[in-house]
Structure 1
Amino acid sequence: MISDVLLADLCADFPQAVRLQRLVGCLRSHFHCGAVAILRLEEDHLRPIAVDGLVRDALGRRFSVGLHPRLAAILARRGVTCFHHDSALPDPYDGLIDEHVGEPLPVHDCMGISLQSEGKPWGVVTLDALEVGTFTASAQEELGQLTALIEASIRTSRLEGEIRALRMGRAVGAAGETVRDDGEVIGEIIGESEAIAQLMHEIGVVADSELPVLLLGETGVGKELFAHRLHRLSRRRDRPLIHVNCAALPESLAESELFGHVRGAFTGATGERPGRFEAADGGTLFLDEVGELPLAIQAKLLRTLQNGEIQRLGSDRPRRVDVRVIAATNRNLREHVRDGSFRADLYHRLSVYPIPIPPLRERGNDVLLLAGRFLELNRARLGLRSLRLSVAAQDALRRYTWPGNVRELEHVISRAALKLLSRGASRKDIITLDTDLLDLDGVVAPADAAADAAPFMSAPATSLREAVEACQSRCIEQALEAQSGNWAQAARQLGMDASNLHKLARRLGVKRDEPGGSKSAARTR
């Protein structure tokens, strides 16, 4: 009997993800389902944490309760809720069943139960059968009888995860959430790869310390998300996290923004104003793109990190602040130390604990989970019945190198959905995104990367930095060419802020001809 199997699994020592996967697999087999899913309630949406019979990217999706009446109905009542083949309510899994990928679901039956944990709503289990009449009255009754065992399995899984984390000296979140290594989404960080599991472990270890942390990673890997995660797991979680984009600070105002100013400190300073350090007092200051700070401001920042004091611009009186600093950069700060554009002493202060964030190309199938998240966001945003990827498109996403990382993936999915609508696709149909809509051919893909890199590899450079700058110049020129000289669109293609692109282009000597001239980008040196 299925109850005996579930009881035996309760007594077994399984990893959290394995236990839940065995649970959905067992339910699917016993009830002869096309698909089974366990979804956890998080604020106003349900998040799949284990599925069997659904496409892989389903684990990255978020189903808004307000937009999915079947899920809302299951969640709203205690007991089994059944939807027969003649139900007019839309099915949240339209186009996502493995056996009918991209097709409208055939006439079928659905049923589900709401789950509770410690007397509070926890989530739902859903079962979809592709044959009418599968979920008979006796099947519904049996599912109701299994509710307590299913809830016990989920509770056991959660407790085992917390115990395992405590044994490893890892952090447990403020709301009792464990920093898990089983692929569960933590906050807005989606992934189940080994690279992300290791990163989450490292963040859990360092978060509770007071050490400065330097987040290292390419543009678009999500450094801000990881900074927020560090703060939420720290002992300063109830105090503010203040975000400063150092690349957007004009040099003339950077000191005032960070440290504040007094009345009359400069033209237009009509009163006193606290800076970002004072706003973060007792909490955390996140210095994003710290490598962009001017040298003069670097010296003042170093003094604050050394003695915990700031001095407002125009004032002689120092002020004490208690701030933990998390910095982030996509630059190689060691190189900038060597060329004198970044202070060595500040670098050593900031990089007490450096954490490299893996690029998307090193995260395996995480790209499909993230794609699922962006597909569901665009489905809801555009009012679509269903939005999914073809098998060929999934393969293309896995093969692509993602120079713009997660941010580029989000833009690729959003652009493809809009393109298909602009070509006349109906919002009432199941919309499938194929490879031709992803626009991955216009930029360097894995198959072409070696060929495109050959000129740089064969031409000896004086230094590694010159080779890197030559590659950057080439990428900017190609992006400008592809976007007909539109700097804003080129910046989006490259996954960076337009102002940062202009700065980088000026430093590299890349410029555009005036309107009406040649459409090719030229380097001035």
Structure 2
Amino acid sequence: MSQPTLDHAWLQIAVGLSTSMPGELQFQRLVQAICDVLPCDAVALMQLNEGELVPVAAMGLAPELIGQRFLPAEHPRLQAILQEREPVRFPADAELPDPFDGWLAVDRERTADVHSCMGCSLYVDRQLVGVLTLDALAPGRFDDVDDMTVAAFAALAAATLRNVALIRALEHGRAQQQELAQELVRDARRREGELIGNSPLMRKLREEIDMVASTDLAVLITGETGTGKELVARTLHARSRRSEQALVHVNCAALPEQIAESELFGHVKGAFTGATSNRAGKFELADGGTLFLDEIGELPLSLQAKLLRALQQGEIQRVGSDKLLRVNVRLIAATNRDLEQEVADGRFRSDLYHRLKVYPIAVPPLREHIADLDTLSSYFLDQARTRLGLRQIGLHPQALLAMQAYDWPGNVRELEHLLMRASLKATRHKEGRPLILAEHLDLPVPVQQLTESVAAEESSTPVIALSAEQGLRDAVDSYQKELILQSLEANQGNWSATARQLKTDRANLNRLAQRLGIKCV
């Protein structure tokens, strides 16, 4: 077999740089190629890592060398190589100890010292990244080796280190992105079950979500502030065919008009002042997944035409670029505005409105499904109990009546925040098991007028208590059943008089009594 030439060695290293083979294999092929063409007994490629030199590949050295750490201050020859940009040669009679004395594989006794040594520092973009060392037992082995040859191998070694580092960084970034996408999916699935309520309106909402979730139709979610539009969007994505991909959330109300186009569609370097690099927009990030445009009614008119094109053609164009990019995005939009009125007033494009409103979903305000108040309260109180580290927390009947009489302009979000504040106040005013009273809610409701029938029996009336073992609904049902029975007894079984005393409609009282298992006459 003929001896490998320099050209063959350089070609072998260059091929390694252009392939996706593992970094360890690239390093080893590089040192093997050097050993094949240069008169050395050993070659070591060492990477500088936080002030230490770490061997990443070696030929002709004891295998246990890999994994060692070399501090340059403790090895004068390595220190000398690091301090120079050109190849460094050490004379055979140099007094400086060689870091590989006793490590050469050809020395079976591991006792011989190195007599020929040279090396070169490795730089990438003016940054010192490591060293390449050549060693031999016999003196004068490198006298005929040209410095330019060693410098060329050093440059290829530095390029290999950089190439492997870039690939590893990309793989790490890709792994992080995959983990982030999976976490978003897991988060969406965790939140999927939080559409609380069993009222007819909530059942209809869930049916609509199930109907459209599996399609790629654009969905327009409407509803007042705090009704849970974002939760509906997350549930739609979690139940869709795109659930394994990312859900990208954009709050259009928080987008300054000057950068809104860049945020949605991205930009190229130099497109405007401050555009120092290429940047992908939200459409590109959502490619293959779902883009949720919250508060779509706040989007500037100047951007609505470009959004319409992206939705109709599936094409976007980065700011400052002539290139069209195709994206596959399922769009979900949400707003608390009346978009029909916005169109009539000229603040929203009619064609974009109809493009968004392929499948509209209206999220009802809390005052329209007040029957879900006890279930929602139970859910939020359980969250408050967990956050505050409590075993249980109680809710006084007057507090529940006050909440039922309130019109909830802030909807479910207002209820959540109110119960968290009330829970905190209750823990400050009572030791042991906290009890939320009506005054802890700070609601503008004449509680005493609403609870005259309760006040008369207050000393004997049970308190609604939520614990880890019993939900709020069961506790409320028990309280309501006892209250109705007490009122019936006080009114000699007269249901009309009982309804008047309890300040409720006779038909509603009968339906409630039937649900609670009370026989109606």
TM-score by length of 1: 0.48
Greater C-alpha radius of gyration: 2
Higher RCO (CA 8 Å, separation ≥ 6 residues)? 1
Q: Under a length normalisation based on structure 2, what TM-score does the superposition of the two structures give? A: 0.48
